[in-house]
Structure 1
């Protein structure tokens, strides 16, 4: 049997197969970040036929100061729940599991969009290529407490809206990357940038707060920027430790991507270019590990699973380009079994 087409569990939740559509921003929300019919139509098209085992929705901002861009989806207020219910119903009617990705942009937020001065782990300019040259304000203890509270409130909204799970965005240079990376975390308090324990403390406190809000069995995933691919940045060794701690804290799925290398690898271009990260992490945890990164061929996805590089495969741009990609992939692998 094909591994890609075989079921897998995330906690107590069973997925029909191991193919995931990772979060991809659409900018189809209205000016208040609310769900539109255009957004629902987009997800209806992507989930049609139920060929994708898991759809992780585009990143949603947890509070106004954490908004990353115009047209970004909001999960920052209780009134967002009604629209999000329509979104989950759209995906569920196609018999597809869906998680909500929740995020705070931190130092990558823009004041002209949020109306707020960008906040980050430290008052230090983002690394080159990070889409921002504004020096953010270092977060106070009160700022950090608010972010933890807002992540938990957003996760509870996701559950109330019918999402089957929630994913914490801790990749692609956003706030939790800024705490995790030694390049941007120069703090000397309990969130200290000088130790892996300090750099993941905010992640762990957010996971704990979310777990308390949503209950013990609701699936929590985390998208981890597992390497900055830059001198002095986050390394695979760091991320193996982080992944183990996240599993202990109650995370059910590890979705691996880049940190300040964002969603590309500066040195590798072949399909599955983050597989060195996922393989190392998979060898050290028992929960599923999701690999994305330039995968466009079903046969390559199958090969990566068989080589135990990961437990699940995320296909983004190929599905964005061709909504029938998953249908064709599943059928191709099914025909090979006959």
Structure 2
């Protein structure tokens, strides 16, 4: 049975197949985070054949102090709406639905005029964070950032995107709250229990849902496991995903935690399947698996084995813009 070619619904949005182009930073945006012709061309080139079921854009910052790097896309200002609409239309002309990934880099933010913020001040294990400079978020600051996620999601909807994704992986802010290695708070957002560590994420999801309405798809990219002693665990990822589904998430995009989008001791296709297979058993909404998949046969095998409902292909599409067109012309698919 050919699983990759089967359609699937994310909320009320029907995807033509199970192939996803996951978020990958391209650094093609303007100095202010605006959409450029280069960025539109990058996505047009990879979707021109109409063979990708869903594209989730590279992460877009929701506020200037949460910017991760130069060339990053922005959803922080209303003035950016015309460019965002242009990007959405580029993919829609190729009959490809597209979500915007919303992000705040937290203590991994690039140095600028705004102080970086995180769940807890002080030194920690997070590579790439400016540990000496970032400040602990107050409860009011947490609420303020949830509202910035809300406003960014509304801009995405107004610009014509088909959904949004909250970035809670790869050591960025929402993931920093989720991991006990970086969350050393003692209040209701603190690191003592999983419920407290995902409180900010759930409140952000609730705020976004309130802005975009009940029928608009919301995905969450969860860095479910740190694969490090004392960090978040696979069991945490299953429990967190159950809570996210209950709170209104429509798609669970599972990846690595504080230490990035790879597993240090594994390069097999679908190397996060140890998480996704268990999460898929525990929830009813679709689960997306990305990591190490480079051929359509590998994607088909993971779907057949019920490791996930959707497969993300990243670096292969980055290297070969026509990968999806070749994959769907393969006699094995």
Aligned to 2:332: 336
What number of residue pairs does the alignment pair up?
332
Is there any run of 5+ residues in structure 2 with no aligned partner, and where?
none
37 and 279 in structure 1: CA distance in 2 versus 1, 3 angstrom threshold: same
SS of 1:100 mapped into structure 2: strand
Q: Contact 1:110–1:117 (CA<8 Å) still a contact in 2?
A: no
SS of 1:225 mapped into structure 2: strand
Distance 1:241 1:101 in 2: 23
Distance 1:39 1:225 in 2: 26
Aligned to 1:59: 59
Cα shift at 1:336: 3.1
Matched, 1:79 2:76: no
- Which digits, 9 at most, give the CA deviation of each residue in 1:7-60, with x for residues without a partner? 000011000000000001111111111001111111110111111000000100
Cα shift at 1:289: 0.3
SS of 1:30 mapped into structure 2: coil
Distance 2:131 2:114 in 1: 12
RMSD: 1.0
SS of 2:5 mapped into structure 1: coil
Distance 1:296 1:126 in 2: 34
Match of 2:188 among 187, 190, 196: 190
Aligned to 1:30: 30
Farther off after superposition, 27-36 or 119-128: 119-128
Match of 1:307 among 301, 305, 316: 305
Which structure 2 residues correspond to residues 117-156 of structure 1 after superposition, within 5 A?
117-127=115-125, 130-135=127-132, 136-156=134-154
Cα shift at 1:125: 2.7
126 and 327 in structure 1: CA distance in 2 versus 1, 3 angstrom threshold: farther
Cα shift at 1:329: 1.0
Q: Contact 2:297–2:332 (CA<8 Å) still a contact in 1?
A: no
Distance 2:129 2:211 in 1: 33
Cα shift at 1:141: 1.4
SS of 1:68 mapped into structure 2: coil
Q: Contact 1:124–1:184 (CA<8 Å) still a contact in 2?
A: no
Aligned to 1:252: 250
Cα shift at 1:126: 3.9
Cα shift at 1:110: 2.5
Distance 2:9 2:74 in 1: 28
- Which digits, 9 at most, give the CA deviation of each residue in 1:256-306, with x for residues without a partner? 000012100012111111111111111100000000001101101000000
Aligned to 2:274: 276
Aligned to 2:94: 94
- Which digits, 9 at most, give the CA deviation of each residue in 1:43-96, with x for residues without a partner? 110111111000000100000000000010010011111100000000000000
Cα shift at 1:146: 1.0
Aligned to 1:226: 224
- TM-score normalised by L of structure 2: 0.98
Distance 2:48 2:214 in 1: 31
Aligned to 1:296: 294
Aligned to 2:209: 211
Cα shift at 1:116: 1.4
Farther off after superposition, 218-227 or 138-147: 138-147
